[in-house]
Amino acid sequence: MLNEIASSSVNNILFVSSTSVYGENQGEVNEETIPIPSSEAGKQLLETEKLIRENSHVESTIIRFAGLIGPDRHPVNMLSGRTQPYRGQCAH
């Protein structure tokens, strides 16, 4: 993918990662917190982040989301049964 980006007109990458790169770390994390992944997925995400950051052909931003998917949370459940999108508006 990075080779394709290098030969394209892409100038910026927004990579959505996960807080799983922090592994078993408990408590508050910030830009200073050193990621130490404990799962294979966390290790792969951290390696992918590194490849993107080190790519000199594009600017990159990495966002690490948390809590989007879990035992009682899955995006498909939020969309199930909906007939129209919210168009960026909050559901009330």
What does the pLDDT average to over 37-44?
94
- Domains in the chain: ranges and CATH: 2-79 (3.40.50.720)
Half-sphere exposure of 2 (CA within 13 A, CB side): 14
Q: What is the pTM of this model?
A: 0.70
65 near 14, Cβ under 8 Å? no
The model's pLDDT over 67-83, given as tens digits with 9 standing for 90+, comes to 766 677 776 776 677 66
The rounded mean pLDDT for the chain is: 84
- Provide the pLDDT for residue 37: 95
Residue 16: closest CA among 72, 74, 60, 76 = 60
d(CA 5, CA 77): 34
